[in-house]
Structure 1
């Protein structure tokens, strides 16, 4: 009996080593001893690749990216594809102050003209470039200022963090449009650059607070603690380990802020604080200048307002989709 049990045990051990099914004891299959604890896995996927795999299946992201890409392409090539010179007063002979102050649509002028007889469609197309420039430069200015303040607060902590955050809290306590209006009103001669500067300053506390939170989360991460244990100096830790890993949420926020910057620029231009020179059309400027004809000719305000809304929607959809794809808590 003992000999038969020993032979049975040896047989089971040999079967397990070869990965063969057990000779007795049912139909359960066995795993080879050498393969115990091993799992089948493919090649690892980076965070960006994983996010892209979700984004390309997200219809909201694709729709927002289509609007954004179309807007950027139009802004680049608009001076060459515009049907007419946006400054030429081709329809001015048709203007009659009492009977026909605004030329209507006609062959060659799909949307008609404005109060100076300039082609409205051409001005909308060329105005996309100035709108893009204002939005991008204002966002980049706010991003740079936020990076400086957020890095100081998140890297040093202590009294530096307290000082920076109190400044940020004061700026956030003022409504953004009111603060932008106040900053733009300081300048005696309003221009496109005053609008960019005013909006950039308003956006700084948003980026600063977000980056500071990301930097604090990185401060106690494993790779930062390991770098400190190895004796790496503070500056390389901040700029090579903490800051690059904290920029993801800030970059996503920039796409959302860009839409807000375009709307704020239009608001400042509507209030008369934009560029007074309308030889370079801009959607917000066109919207503000059309208010005197709003009662009788609402299309002069509708077209630039619709362009602003659609572009802002595109950036917002794209930014929200990016945030959901990169945020582990909201990934779909």
Structure 2
């Protein structure tokens, strides 16, 4: 027994503090400064390779869209290689010096159209998401803040919209327009996103209605309007903002699908990836690269926003934190 005690004392001494350093006062608690939810989420996100990959892809896409008119090697609307287009033997000119990806069927530089097309794709995706978010906020606030028959009416409308496949609903709305334009695509895609945001915000507001800070505000005589907009809504927007990153990826895909089906902007002098994909289908067998490049761009960008959105959701949701 003495030998064992001596051995323990020797190990404690060699650790640098002796046996006294191993003894803590009963009930002592280490005091650490509090960490906000955003700081805690960022601490996890910056170590998450999935988030870093998604954020890098999304950032590169946004930067490319913003500077695309300045870095495109050629004007995407000018048929520089039109004289080399031969409908029978060479309908699509191949790569050559100054045109690394070749040209389309009217001699326009494919690389320049891909670069400039990112701007239109980003514009449609972001504006459609913002419109859908705005509409979802209105319906979600009405349903989640007031409840009763207002909640029942709004949610029945939302259920009907959610029961229809998103692309079919967007196609039906876009087809109602007398003339296909970029605005009709934005409205159609935004209408599909409204019920998603409305249901999510409504659930977040219902969870806030019986929280302690809301009950305390009502007990102090705070007006219902102030309770909703100053106490409930700010604490319910977190999941909605995270969802918007995921919806942005869906909006880009839906907008590309509508343009592919011919319901987008008919003016191909302003290229857009979905529009380029639809135009390339007639050359899919002889020149598949006309469809492969814009399709890869759409997939790559949608993947980036999806990875970033899923990582944000996991970092901010206590139930799914890793």
- Which residue of the partner structure matches residue 278 of structure 2? 288
Write the mapping of 1:161-240 to structure 2, written as runs, cut at 5 A.
161-240=151-230
Write the mapping of 1:83-232 to structure 2, written as runs, cut at 5 A.
83-232=73-222
- Which residue of the partner structure matches residue 265 of structure 2? 275
Tell which structure's C-alpha radius of gyration is larger. 1
Instruction: Measure, in 2, the Cα distance between the counterparts of 1:261 and 1:115.
Output: 28
- Which residue of the partner structure matches residue 7 of structure 1? none
- What whole-Å deviation, never above 9, does each CA across 1:215-260 have from its counterpart, x for those lacking one? 0000000100000110000000000010000000001110000000
Runs of 4+ in 1 over 3 A off after TM superposition: 27-31
Write the mapping of 1:10-21 to structure 2, written as runs, cut at 5 A.
none
Instruction: Measure, in 1, the Cα distance between the counterparts of 2:240 and 2:159.
Output: 18
Answering whether residue 57 of structure 2 is matched by residue 67 of structure 1, we say: yes
- Which residue of the partner structure matches residue 20 of structure 1? none
* Superposed displacement of residue 320, structure 1: 0.2
- Unaligned runs of at least 5 residues, structure 1: 1-26
Of 67, 76, 94, the match for 2:66: 76
- What whole-Å deviation, never above 9, does each CA across 1:61-107 have from its counterpart, x for those lacking one? 00000000000000000100111111111000001110101000001
- Which residue of the partner structure matches residue 243 of structure 2? 253
* RMSD of aligned Cα (Å): 1.4
Instruction: Measure, in 2, the Cα distance between the counterparts of 1:124 and 1:53.
Output: 36
* Superposed displacement of residue 38, structure 1: 5.0
* Superposed displacement of residue 322, structure 1: 0.2
* Superposed displacement of residue 39, structure 1: 2.0
- Unaligned runs of at least 5 residues, structure 2: 1-20
Aligned residue pair count: 303
TM-score by length of 2: 0.92
* Superposed displacement of residue 37, structure 1: 4.8
